[in-house]
Structure 1
Amino acid sequence: MSFTFRCVDAAADAPLLHSWVTQPYASFWGMLSSTVDGVVEEYSKIQATGHHHALLGINDDGVPAFLMEEYLPAASPLAAIYAVQEGDIGMHLLVAPPSGDPQPGYTAAVMDAVLERLFEKPGVERVVVEPDARNSKIHVLNERLGFQPAGVVTLPDKEALLSFCTRQDYLAARAALGHPRVHSHDLSTPILQGASL
Structure 2
Amino acid sequence: MAPADAHTEAGAGPAPPTDTGAEDTLDLPLPEELLALFEEETPAAPGEDASATPALSLPSNTSVSSASPASSEPGDAGPAAGRRTATSSAALADLLDHPADWGPATTPAGVFQLVPVRLERDLAVISRWMNDPAVAAFWELAGSEAVTADHLRPQLDGDGRSVPCLGVLAGIPMSYWEIYRADLDPLARHYPARPHDTGIHLLIGGVNNRGRGAGTTLLRAVSDLVLDNRPLCARVVAEPDLRNTPSVSAFLSAGFRFSAEVELPDKRAALMVRDRTHRAQL
Equivalence for 1:105: 213
Please identify, of 46-55 and 164-173, the stretch whose mean Cα deviation from structure 2 is larger. Answer: 164-173
1:24-68 alpha-carbon deviations (Å, 9 max, x no partner): 11121221x3320111121111222220111111111x2101111
Q: In the alignment, which of 229, 246, 253 is matched to residue 121 of structure 1?
A: 229
Question: Do 2:179 and 2:201's aligned partners in 1 also have CA atoms closer than 8 Å?
Answer: yes
Q: CA deviation at 1:105?
A: 2.6
Give matches, 1:1-197, under 5 Å: 1-26=110-135, 27-31=137-141, 33-49=142-158, 50-60=160-170, 62-99=171-208, 104-122=212-230, 123-173=232-282
Whole-angstrom distance in 2 between the partners of 1:10 and 1:88: 27
- Contact map agreement 1:145 1:170 (CA 8 A) in 2: no
Q: Give me the TM-score of the superposition, normalised by structure 2.
A: 0.57
Using a 3 Å threshold, how does the CA distance of structure 1 residues 163 and 105 change in structure 2: closer, same or farther? closer
CA–CA separation in structure 2 for the residues paired with 1:80 and 1:107: 28
Equivalent position amino acid for 1:142 in 2 = F
Q: Can you list the C-alpha shifts for 1:78-117, whole angstroms capped at 9, x where unaligned? A: 12111211231011111111347x6623222222221121
Secondary structure of 2:280's aligned partner: helix
- Determine if contact 1:147/1:169 at 8 Å carries over to the other structure: no
Q: 1:91 to 1:169 in 2, by over 3 A?
A: same
Matched pairs, number: 170
Secondary structure, in 3 states, of the residue corresponding to 1:139? helix
Q: Given that residues 72 and 88 in structure 1 are in contact (C-alpha distance below 8 angstroms), is that contact kept between their aligned partners in structure 2?
A: yes
- Relative to structure 1, the CA distance from residue 159 to residue 89 in structure 2 (aligned partners, 3 Å threshold; closer, same or farther) is same
Q: In 1, distance between residues paired with 2:163 and 2:143?
A: 20
Distance change >3 Å, CA 66–CA 140, structure 1 → 2? same
Give, in whole Å, the separation in 2 of the partners of 1:109 and 1:146.
10
Structure with bigger RCO (C-alpha 8 Å, 6+ apart): 2
* 2-structure distance, mates of 1:96, 1:21: 8
Q: Is the contact made by 2:161 and 2:180 (CA closer than 8 Å) also made in structure 1?
A: yes
Decide whether the 8 Å contact of 2:216 with 2:251 is kept in 1.
no
Secondary structure of the corresponding residue to residue 134 of structure 1? coil
Whole-Å separation in 2 of the counterparts to 1:137 and 1:169:
23
Number of the residue aligned with 2:56:
none
Aligned partners of 1:51 and 1:121: how far apart in 2?
A: 15
Alpha-carbon RMSD across the aligned residues, in angstroms, is: 1.7
Determine what percentage of the aligned residue pairs are the same residue: 26
TM superposition shift of 1:2? 1.7
Q: TM-score, normalised by structure 1?
A: 0.79
Equivalent position SS for 2:152: helix
Residue pair 1:150, 1:164 contacting (<8 A) in 2 also = yes
Larger Rg: 2
Paired with 1:10 and 1:25, the residues of 2 have a C-alpha distance of: 23
Q: Does the residue aligned with 1:110 lie in a helix, a strand or coil?
A: helix
Residue 195 of structure 1 corresponds to which residue in structure 2? none
